[in-house]
């Protein structure tokens, strides 16, 4: 029984990055032996175990064979005779197909170190085509790893997969997970540029025109996903924003934000000139109960030099927050109308 650190932790160490998590492969063992040593089995379809103390994942070395579509359509063979090299062969990229022994020796059968030196994202084998999610993973690694480019043969293979409609096999949950992870990487625009180069953007989000320059500018100033999603959906038709948010498994907070940003961003091309116009926007954002979307919207305005409108929205928000809505409601037979009139009156002071 031999244990190796594998995958992302080895890659990150060679890149001079601090690994965020560690994965381990166990060669020459069995389910029975792992359980006898106190490991807890957690993998239903694969022989994956949690270490009794660290709770890190340890997997028996295995080979896989595609038997049907979808990410669960694999048959797995795990036994003491599966070698480390066989296990690494099933991985997506050469830079993720390395292992490290317990004494620090790097095992690199597929030249991952060379590809790290040359900043190349290259598939390990033709088994790459068996899981189309790997297309999105390659695009995400391009967004994550500064200066890395996709190998020509890998780009061609991904393009062929897209043309064969392989992306249609992916669940909405898996696509959104890669999308959201890519969006908070250091170069999120690279994710979309890689996908564009192989014709995948039009397959996945045909109604979304990616403004690379806007995304690049916003991403250079803001790291949170709300701001970067806002950059993507700035000046996007509301119907398309709604289609996107209903197709993918997106948190409700983000769904609401991108639809509001889509709806009102086009209006920002002209300055707000009337109190009732300002109030309509503030009420639509529901600023007293859920101010987060408006704050994101104002930040996006400021970063793009919509100075007049960003000031009006910010000052209008602050004025409305100071009103005692409960007291105003008590003073009127029609509380809703009374509150509306009070808001409008206080916003008039800004014009």
The pLDDT, as a whole number, for residue 74 is 67
Question: Distance of alpha carbon 339 from its chain centroid, rounded?
Answer: 40
Q: What CA–CA distance (Å, rounded) separates 137 from 214?
A: 23
Q: Where are the alpha helices (DSSP H) in 151-224?
A: 152-163, 172-183, 188-197, 201-204, 212-221
3 state DSSP class of 45: coil
Whether the CB-CB separation of 146 and 187 falls below 8 Å is answered with: yes
Pick from 209, 210, 217: nearest CA to 187: 217
Q: How many CA atoms lie within 13 A of 344 on its CB side?
A: 10
The percent helix, strand, coil of the chain (3-state, each to 5) is: 55, 10, 35
The pLDDT, as a whole number, for residue 183 is 98
| pLDDT, average across residues 87-96 | 96
- Confidence bin at 72 (pLDDT 50/70/90): low
Report whether pLDDT(333) > 90: no
Whether the CB-CB separation of 95 and 115 falls below 8 Å is answered with: yes
Q: What CA–CA distance (Å, rounded) separates 90 from 270?
A: 55
The pLDDT, as a whole number, for residue 71 is 58
Q: What CA–CA distance (Å, rounded) separates 236 from 225?
A: 17
Q: What CA–CA distance (Å, rounded) separates 159 from 258?
A: 30
Tokens of 174: 């898996």
| Residue 64 β-bridge partners | 76
- Confidence bin at 68 (pLDDT 50/70/90): low
Q: What CA–CA distance (Å, rounded) separates 29 from 7?
A: 20
Report whether pLDDT(84) > 90: yes
Mean pLDDT score of the chain: 94
The pLDDT, as a whole number, for residue 67 is 64
Q: What CA–CA distance (Å, rounded) separates 232 from 244?
A: 11
pLDDT for 230-289, tens place per residue?
999 999 999 999 999 999 999 999 999 999 999 999 999 999 999 999 999 999 999 999
Whether the CB-CB separation of 135 and 46 falls below 8 Å is answered with: no
- Confidence bin at 21 (pLDDT 50/70/90): confident
Spatial neighbors of 68 by CB under 8 A, at least 6 apart, are none
Domains of the chain: 1-126 (3.30.460.10), 132-265 (1.10.3090.10), 270-351 (no CATH)
Q: How many CA atoms lie within 13 A of 297 on its CB side?
A: 33
Q: What CA–CA distance (Å, rounded) separates 249 from 139?
A: 20
34-48, 97-111, 267-281 — which is least confidently predicted? 34-48
- Confidence bin at 75 (pLDDT 50/70/90): confident
pLDDT for 189-225, tens place per residue?
999 999 999 999 999 999 899 999 999 999 999 999 9
Report whether pLDDT(64) > 90: no
């Amino acid at each position: 029984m031999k244990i190796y650190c594998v995958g992302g932790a080895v890659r990150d160490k060679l890149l001079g990055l601090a690994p965020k998590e560690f994965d381990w492969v166990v060669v020459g063992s069995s389910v029975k032996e792992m359980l006898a040593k106190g490991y807890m089995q957690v993998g239903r379809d694969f022989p994956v175990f949690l270490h009794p103390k660290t709770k890190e994942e340890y997997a028996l070395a295995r080979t896989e064979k595609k038997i049907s579509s979808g990410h669960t359509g694999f048959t797995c063979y795990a036994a003491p005779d599966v070698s480390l090299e066989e296990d690494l062969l099933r991985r997506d990229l050469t830079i993720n197909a390395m292992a490290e022994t317990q004494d620090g020796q790097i095992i690199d059968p597929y030249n991952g170190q060379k590809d790290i030196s040359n900043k190349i994202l290259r598939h390990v084998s033709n088994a790459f085509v068996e899981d189309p999610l790997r297309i999105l993973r390659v695009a995400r690694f391009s967004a994550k790893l500064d200066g890395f480019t996709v190998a020509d043969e890998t780009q061609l293979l991904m393009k062929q997969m897209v043309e064969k409609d392989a992306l249609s096999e992916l669940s909405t949950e898996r696509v959104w997970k890669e999308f959201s992870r890519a969006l908070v990487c250091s170069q999120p625009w690279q994710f979309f540029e890689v996908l564009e180069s192989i014709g995948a953007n039009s397959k996945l989000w045909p109604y979304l025109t990616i403004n690379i320059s806007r995304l690049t500018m916003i991403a250079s100033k803001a790291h949170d996903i709300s701001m970067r999603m806002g950059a993507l959906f700035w000046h996007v038709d509301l119907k398309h924003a709604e289609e996107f948010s209903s197709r993918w498994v997106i948190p409700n907070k983000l769904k609401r934000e991108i639809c509001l940003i889509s709806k009102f961003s086009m209006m920002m091309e002209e300055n707000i000139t009337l109190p009732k116009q300002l109030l309509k926007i503030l009420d639509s954002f529901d600023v007293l109960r859920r101010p987060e979307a408006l704050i994101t919207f104002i930040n996006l305005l400021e970063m793009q030099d919509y100075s007049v409108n960003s000031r009006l929205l910010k000052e209008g928000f602050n004025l409305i927050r100071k009103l005692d809505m409960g007291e105003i409601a008590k003073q009127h037979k029609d509380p809703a109308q009374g509150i509306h009139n009070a808001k409008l009156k206080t916003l008039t002071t800004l014009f």
